[in-house]
Amino acid sequence: MNPWRTAIARTDDTSIRIRGYDVTGLMRQSSFAGLVFLLHKGRLPSADEARLIDALLIGVADPGAGAPSCAASRLVASGNRQSLSAAVAAGVLAIGDEHGGAGEACMELIAAVIETSRAGGTAIEEAARAMVQAMRDAGERIPGVGHRRLTTDPRVNVLFEMAREANIAGDGISAARAIEAAVSAQIKPLPLNIDGALAAILHDMGFPPPAGKLVFIVGRVAGLTAEVAEEHEREKPMRIRIPVEYDGEAPREIS
């Protein structure tokens, strides 16, 4: 049987190494955000890169108990007091294309806009308008824009400002803003959201599209652990009762 292969971590009799670095040295000299970067990119980040990853993780950690992932964790924590891991896992399993997955889809869209711009020798803004129009005609959802409650997502400007100060802002951020403008002109004003900002910055940092979802998961797990802990500490078991209205058949007899 062929052994599994990995280039991520190695443990022997006396040490644990991550991407070649001794874990004890990383414990002393790195940060968790730096470790996330190292795990996925294979190298230690610059100070600016580490700060941006840190900011992204903070930005997606917990928007409130009503978010699908947080609500799922609290629902399971309400009914299953024996397994903290089951409740946290339930929240992670609630993350998909509709919730928390837009970062990956937006990274793919940003890459397509940039590629179209370069291939056709057109401005990013023009490529974004054409891409948004094509998606609208196909009835597809535009990822990275809109929010259920926020009229402007305050996290976006902070992240983009940090990226510019770090000289990391590039075509990814330009494409994200162009998509936002195209949606506003062709559909209705919708703000760029945290998924769009995360997608733009990760693109400009050289991450592949799946990182849009994976980095979101890393950050959100921190929030889910707090949601589960609070449910256990403050609430009684089985306290979550969801109102359900039956609209099926009236009572009937077996003939």
**Tens digits of per-residue pLDDT, 91-102?**
999 999 888 889
For residue 229, CA distances in Å to 20, 90, 91, 219, 232 come to: 35, 14, 13, 17, 5
CB-based burial label for 217 (10 Å; 0-12, 13-18, 19+): middle
Spans of the chain below 70 pLDDT: none
Asked if 223 and 62 count as a contact pair (C-beta separation under 8 A), the reply is yes
Which candidate, 182, 202, 206, places its Cα nearest to that of 104? Answer: 202
Dist. CA 130–CA 238, nearest whole Å: 51
CB-based burial label for 53 (10 Å; 0-12, 13-18, 19+): buried
Check residue 97 and give its pLDDT.
86
Q: What is the pLDDT of residues 28-66, one digit of tens each?
A: 999 999 999 999 999 999 999 999 999 999 999 999 999
How many CA atoms are closer than 13 Å to the CA of 64, on its beta-carbon side?
4
Which candidate, 62, 65, 107, places its Cα nearest to that of 212? Answer: 107
In angstroms and rounded to an integer, the radius of gyration of the C-alpha atoms of the chain is 22
Check residue 148 and give its pLDDT.
78
Largest CA distance in the chain: 76
Check residue 98 and give its pLDDT.
85
Check residue 149 and give its pLDDT.
79
Check residue 147 and give its pLDDT.
82
Taking the CA atoms of 127, 128, 133 and 136 in sequence, report the sign of the dihedral they define: positive
Q: What is the pLDDT of residues 208-231, one digit of tens each?
A: 999 999 999 999 999 999 999 999
Reading the block at residue 109, the tokens are 């869209």
At residue 192, the 3 state secondary structure works out as strand
Dist. CA 132–CA 124, nearest whole Å: 12
Dist. CA 74–CA 91, nearest whole Å: 8
Check residue 245 and give its pLDDT.
95
Dist. CA 109–CA 171, nearest whole Å: 12
Is the pTM of the predicted complex or chain greater than 0.95?
Answer: no
Dist. CA 87–CA 45, nearest whole Å: 32
Check residue 255 and give its pLDDT.
85
